Structure 1
Amino acid sequence: MTTTPYQRHYDLDWLRTLAFGLLILYHIGMYYVADWGWHIKSDVTSEALQNLMILTNQWRMSLLFFISAMALALAQQRSSRLGLFGLRSNRLLIPLLCGMFIVVVPQVYFEALSQQLIEPGYLSFWWQYINPNTELLRDHHSPIGLLTWNHLWFLPYLWCYSALVLLFAGPLNRLAQANWLQALPGRYAFLLIVPSMMVVWLTLRAHFPSTHALLDDWYNHGKYMLAFVGGYLFAQQGNWWQQVIRCRRYFLLAALLCYCLIIADRNGVFGSLPDNEISFVLRLVFSVVLSLNHWCWILALVGYAGRYLNRPTSKLDKDGSLLHYSNNAILPWYMLHQTLIIVFAVWLKPLALPVGIEAIALIVLTCLGCWAGYELIKRFWLSRWLFGLKVKLPASSGRKSTVMQ
């Protein structure tokens, strides 16, 4: 594999599609677990489901930042930095504003309604929601009132990281093309990124709990910015990419081992101590396991995608239509899915269905809702613009890779 300017990386398209698909299932799972806060909750929760979700919650968003940075690094070989900045601004900031004013409003409404903080009446609530001077739910205000981005926090974070990397693209590209880095074996690069994530965990995690509020979210910034810069440099190192593909099985085995250790610790296998009694050595051991878990999953998935998915068609997608569809539909699906999960969960709850049937119904209804929403969005220039699609429909039906979105 090389990184020539016009090479199409179907593996990144597929990996991004699968990662966002996983995100939909993860957010449906959030409805059924008790320990993690979410907008609404089912009356039936599952500890086993929570353990399964831990499999991905350490790295799933980092993976998206990693492959987004890889796509940015590859795209700059055929586009100017200013052009890329404009493209990412248009496809991230406009959908973010659309999401904040329109898409996420039902999430806030049904959450407040479930906690009996407001009276029923969606339109009157929306009017108060968009009013920065509203007195409604004063204890829940941000600096801009009730306006929030909820699950769309990924968009402003991605825009900020992209802007920073494009601003410093000169020195970053010189670093990526330096002879010593080009000649550095992948295993040595791995030995650099694992301690870097350990430092982030040891120094920031306890002091800056996750908020997704951008300005005070320093632990997440440390983790995600490291993944983003790592992906940007990784994409320009053909030898590293090849080594990750060859070593994918070892990364997967290491990732599974780390996951087992995390679950064992969570279930008290190694005993439990109050946080203030955990020694630095023990915290250091935890940081090693968490960092290895984080990077091994990312690199294992990149390796398997590079080995099996770097082609326009597959046994499951013989004519490439599924990949073509997902490349275009993925951002609208991402914007719509959590709102639809909450709306359908509220509708299904009074039916008191068996939890297994309810969960399947929730998955099916969410996917159908995303499909119908995208089919409507793509038909009008204004909705296309608001949801990050190209405003003008393509002149031809040729399928092009859109990993840069």
Structure 2
Amino acid sequence: MTTTTDTRRYDVDWLRSLAFGLLILYHIGMYYVADWGWHIKSDTTSVVLQNVMILTNQWRMSLLFFISAMALALAQRHSSKLKLFSLRSNRILIPLLCGMFIVVVPQVYYEALSQQLIAPGYLNFWWQYINPNTDLLVEHHSPIGLLTWNHLWFLPYLWCYSILVLIAAPLLNALASRLQALPGRIALLLAMASLICAWYFLRQAYPSSHALVDDWYNHAKYFAVFIAGYLFALQGNWWQKVIVQRRWFLLTALLCYSLIIADRNGLFDSIPASFGESVSGRLLVGMVLALNHWGWILALIGYAGRYLNRRTNTLDKDGRLLHYANNAILPWYMLHQTLIIVFAVWLKPLALPVAIEAVLLIVLTCAGCWAGYELIKRFWLSRWLFGLKVTLPVFNPRQEALGDKH
């Protein structure tokens, strides 16, 4: 099987859709774990579920940045930088503003309501929420008041990284050409070294905030992943080797995940704390995290390249599912967390068994996303606000006159 960067890569489309689908399940899981803060919480929590979620939280968002950069690299071969700049701005910044002013508001409202910080009254809260000079919840203000992007933080990061890469595209394309002769294992070691350095020097000083302006650890991590994804997409030989070696990447990822879970459950408590705080101990931890991170990403890239690089496959016999996912993915992403929180608030007073409640939450969230997308796609304004392609009707006087005669 030959890997080429000149033809459409259906595996990239599939991975993007599956990664966002995983994100929905992850955020539903956040409602049921105790140790990680979230907007609202179930009265029933699970350590086992938390261990399962650890499987993805080391690399889940990195995979999305990696895939987005791959898509950008492939697109820039057929579109001008100006067109890509306009496209990414329209399909990222407009949905971001729509999300901040409309979509995420219920998340903030129900979070504050659950903590008894505000009185009931959604419309009154929304008016205060969009007012940058509001005196409501002053201790929770950002420089723009209560306005927030919550789970949509991925969008401003993606826009900034995309613009920086488009500006630097000539240099990156030249670098990609020079890297043709570089063995893939050396490139992987460089990517791992970058992640280890970010973790070692920045993780404690700049804990994750998703606030964009001061989130230096996340920038060091995700922007490096974004650059790696861009360069990787232009290297057919690296791509092919990842597909061939996919089983080894998966085995490495499973081993490192097992070590992480063992550590979180106290298996290594007998090791002196001084070793964990030493340079050697921290580098060892950083190496395990980097292997886990890149092992999962490259295993998924490899398996997708092997089995999903075609329009139709065993998952999608006629290609309709992928076509739907490509169009619906952004509205689903924008809507899902708000729907999770709204439905969780509605279900909580029923005190259902947690298994039944969780299944209902998944079904209701997916049904809400589906219904929301079906409504959004029918009107040009909602399409524009949610990042869908907009084709305005063109008035043709002659055609109208002909129509009148009939």
**TM-score over 0.5 for the pair:** yes
Return the alpha-carbon distance in structure 2 between the equivalents of residues 182 and 4 of structure 1. Answer: 13
Return the alpha-carbon distance in structure 2 between the equivalents of residues 229 and 4 of structure 1. Answer: 16
Q: How does 1:12-23 map to 2 (within 5 A)?
A: 12-23=12-23
Q: How does 1:367-378 map to 2 (within 5 A)?
A: 367-378=366-377
1:233 aligns with 2:236: no
Return the alpha-carbon distance in structure 2 between the equivalents of residues 223 and 70 of structure 1. Answer: 16
Q: Deviations over 1:184-242 (max 9, x none)?
A: 12112112111111111101101000000000100000110011000000000000000
Return the alpha-carbon distance in structure 2 between the equivalents of residues 93 and 368 of structure 1. Answer: 26
Q: Which residue of 2 aligns with 1:76?
A: 76
TM normalised by structure 2 equals 0.95
Return the alpha-carbon distance in structure 2 between the equivalents of residues 379 and 99 of structure 1. Answer: 19
Note the residue ranges of structure 1 that are not aligned, 5 or more in a row. 396-405
1:379 aligns with 2:399: no
Q: Deviation at 1:3?
A: 3.6
Matched AA of 1:359 = A
Matched AA of 1:186 = G
TM normalised by structure 1 equals 0.95
Conservation of the 8 A alpha-carbon contact between 1:210 and 1:217:
yes
Q: Which residue of 1 aligns with 2:53?
A: 53
Q: How does 1:6-405 map to 2 (within 5 A)?
A: 7-178=7-178, 181-271=179-269, 278-392=277-391
Matched AA of 2:10 = Y
Matched AA of 1:358 = E
Shift in alpha-carbon separation, 1:192–1:109, aligned structure 2, 3 A: same
State the secondary structure of the residue aligned to 1:294: helix
Return the alpha-carbon distance in structure 1 between the equivalents of residues 151 and 273 of structure 2. Answer: 32
* Count of paired positions: 392
Give the root-mean-square deviation of aligned CA atoms. Answer: 1.5
Conservation of the 8 A alpha-carbon contact between 1:3 and 1:74:
no
Conservation of the 8 A alpha-carbon contact between 2:95 and 2:385:
yes
State the secondary structure of the residue aligned to 2:112: helix
State the secondary structure of the residue aligned to 2:390: coil
Shift in alpha-carbon separation, 1:83–1:195, aligned structure 2, 3 A: same
Compare CA radii of gyration and give the structure with the larger one.
2
Note the residue ranges of structure 2 that are not aligned, 5 or more in a row. 395-406
Q: Deviation at 1:274?
A: 5.8
State the secondary structure of the residue aligned to 1:177: helix
Q: Which residue of 1 aligns with 2:399?
A: none
Conservation of the 8 A alpha-carbon contact between 2:196 and 2:290:
yes
State the secondary structure of the residue aligned to 2:120: coil
Q: Deviations over 1:64-119 (max 9, x none)?
A: 00010000000000000111011000000000000000000000000000000000
Conservation of the 8 A alpha-carbon contact between 1:200 and 1:223:
yes
